[in-house]
Amino acid sequence: MSRKGCLGCSLPVLVIIIVIVLAVGVISLLSGALGKALVGDVGLPELFTVDPPHVQLPAEVIVHDAIGGFDITNTLIASWITIVLLAGFAWAVTHRIRVIPSRLQGLLESALEWLLNLCNDVAGEKYGRRIFPVITTIFLFVIMNSWLSLIPGFGSVTYATVEHGEAHVVPLLRGANTDINFTLALAIISFVFVEYLGISQGGGLRYFAKFINVRRFGQALGQLVRGKVKSGLGGLFMGGVDMFVGMLEGISEMIRVVSFTFRLFGNMLGGEILILMMLFLMPWLLAVPFYGLELLVGAIQALIFGGLTLVFATMAVMTHEEHEETH
């Protein structure tokens, strides 16, 4: 059979594909909000109508007070599914591990090798392997969370509740990255990991000397006491500048938690709202490119979170070994 022709298909197949795409496009135009504004209500059956979108910022609670006052939200259930999938995949690959890898094992090996190369490139040979587990966990967790929320069924499987006297439709599953509690927890984990690495490598108090930099100030005071007034005063001034810069570094270190949280949360929530609005405007056709965008954004945000944690961890250990050759 000749595979030449338009776009690799034979002409009849191409015509059928174009007809189907046009039909889907016309139906989506007519049943969405754009169509209602342009053409008016055509009277399509109940199946094709789209409700006005209702954006819910906090994650909806599925089970109230499940364990001692702790609510179970739909994002929590979604993150459990991610955990089960990731752990199940890892177990399935490694419980019969072979020297010549099977295809699934090869997939996991290539992903982990790519991440290990990234860690080694940024952090050097000595620390790359140590930092690798946390970075891989963060990366795989974030990317699996954000990609799972694109599978049909996430957000569409709903159940109706009556809350505060009005009927609500609550989705059973929602992407875990859209919950600010989850991103805040991940940011705190990353922050604590970086600080722990800095303290354990630099040795306790030497790490905090970066933020409370009283060395030059103390030296200048010593010089003043010994009678060298001019250099003492100059050193006093420079010491004051050092202390101020150290305080600024400390503040910027803690702002990282806020910045990590809102970067991931804002990107994922924005993507969810974007797809919701596109589904409202033109249900079937217009959302397809935005699903592609969400795939890309999810992967990039996972890389950003993991990569930035890696960079900050590297900076935390590198300051202790001053100007050591790593590259």
d(CA 305, CA 176): 15
Rounded to 10 deg, the angle between the 103-148 and 74-94 helix axes is 180
Three-state SS for 256? helix
- Nearest CA-CA partner of 198 in 209, 190, 187, 207: 207
d(CA 240, CA 232): 12
One-letter identity of residue 252: S
Site string for another protein, 219-258 (x = CB under 8 A): ----------------------------------------
Q: Which of 304, 319, 320, 321 binds another protein (CB under 8 A)?
A: 304
Q: How far is CA 231 from the centre of its chain?
A: 51
Site string for another protein, 4-43 (x = CB under 8 A): ----------------------------------------
Interface stretch with another protein, choices 22-30, 85-93, 220-228, 303-311 (CB under 8 A): 303-311
Query: Of 30 and 176, which has the nearer Cβ to another protein?
Result: 176
d(CA 252, CA 9): 57
Q: 214 φ, ψ to 5°?
A: -100, 10
Q: Which of 127, 207, 217, 265 binds another protein (CB under 8 A)?
A: 265
Specify whether the CB–CB gap between 15 and 269 falls below 8 A: no
Report angle CA 13, 14, 20 to the nearest 5 degrees. Answer: 90
Other beta carbons within 10 Å of 17: 12
25-34, long-range: CB within 8 Å, 24+ apart, which pairs?
Answer: 25/284, 25/285, 27/284, 28/282, 28/283, 28/284, 28/285, 28/286, 29/282, 29/285, 31/283, 32/280, 32/281, 32/282, 32/283, 32/286, 33/280, 33/281, 33/282, 34/281, 34/282
User: According to the binding rule CB under 8 A, does residue 259 interact with another protein?
Assistant: yes
User: According to the binding rule CB under 8 A, does residue 269 interact with another protein?
Assistant: yes
Site string for another protein, 40-59 (x = CB under 8 A): ---------------x-x--
Interface stretch with another protein, choices 29-37, 81-89, 268-276, 277-285 (CB under 8 A): 268-276
Min CB(40)–another protein separation in Å: 27
d(CA 39, CA 41): 7
Q: Which of 120, 150, 266, 319 binds another protein (CB under 8 A)?
A: 266
User: According to the binding rule CB under 8 A, does residue 111 interact with another protein?
Assistant: no
Other beta carbons within 10 Å of 294: 23
Specify whether the CB–CB gap between 93 and 105 falls below 8 A: yes
Q: Which of 72, 273, 276, 295 binds another protein (CB under 8 A)?
A: 273
Q: Which of 149, 213, 301, 314 binds another protein (CB under 8 A)?
A: 301
Query: Of 199 and 273, which has the nearer Cβ to another protein?
Result: 273
Q: Which of 186, 187, 308, 317 binds another protein (CB under 8 A)?
A: 308
Interface stretch with another protein, choices 1-9, 29-37, 134-142, 302-310 (CB under 8 A): 302-310
Interface stretch with another protein, choices 26-34, 85-93, 181-189, 264-272 (CB under 8 A): 264-272
Interface stretch with another protein, choices 140-148, 153-161, 218-226, 263-271 (CB under 8 A): 263-271
Query: Of 56 and 94, which has the nearer Cβ to another protein?
Result: 56
Interface stretch with another protein, choices 24-32, 79-87, 162-170, 305-313 (CB under 8 A): 305-313
Interface residues with another protein (CB under 8 A) are 55, 57, 259, 262-263, 265-267, 269-270, 273, 300-301, 303-304, 307-308, 311
